[in-house]
Structure 1
């Protein structure tokens, strides 16, 4: 493969404008970009435009094709979700279900790709169960969850300042560490 910038795709968010999980995914992507990656983001509004996945109807919309092609061509992924009732959001679930379209590829699903996970939830239990659920999905999709998973308890932590910048040093450190892991793993050749 010719030497080219690594491509890292982010997905996640909610219908909530400027959701914390989406902003944190964007922060990880920004760190990856600072390390030389090309990045793309499929945020809550983009995911909301995807119709419900139906394997019986293989005709895809332009939005569906764009997401599938971005994942197909990427070297790493960042998935963010709020914790809803101990699980991840329906928007993220629908987007991941759509990636069933990659089942026939030589590099199926997330095969050999690093996947950073970002969760925001109202409490540590919800953070843990949602992060665990996403790790299970990444394993099922043949991806490699990064050792650093980012979990932000929105009841106890305030990651953002008034200007939107990350102000919590521990969260900023986790973002940087996750981006480093994504980029380091993406640089490796996986067979």
Structure 2
């Protein structure tokens, strides 16, 4: 991929960066240095500056309108008082015992994450006690369900993550089951996260 395409992709996925460039608030040379350091570009400073100057913001603005339109019909819901257990992979054989208990299960290469309501956490703790690596309490879930086309469109996930990050909210876990995105944050951040997602649609 050319340096121009790499720079364009970075800018197109970062709404705040687009806004600042459009308003003339960012010095191209300073931004080029930042991008080279952050993304370890194998390119000269002048090449990155040139790529930044070639970016046309109008297509990006049109793309932004398209993304915003996707969120207008989104369905958003929340849940509080959740617990996440991180387990050793060896606990895999015990999973059939909890399949019917409305638990979110995420299996990775070395670990398994179980996300469950606090009221059911003691039961899970008893079942998996010897395999628990860590336990995260006081989590909340914000679910956003989009149309299938929207969920598969490039830039949608980055828009969600960027907006949450810009509001100084840390995403603890993120599950994607198209067309639904499940975002896990601390309980105290659930309302703010919900408001951020509503804001994506202009609500």
TM-score, structure 1 as length reference: 0.22
More strand by share: 2
TM-score, structure 2 as length reference: 0.21
More helix by share: 2
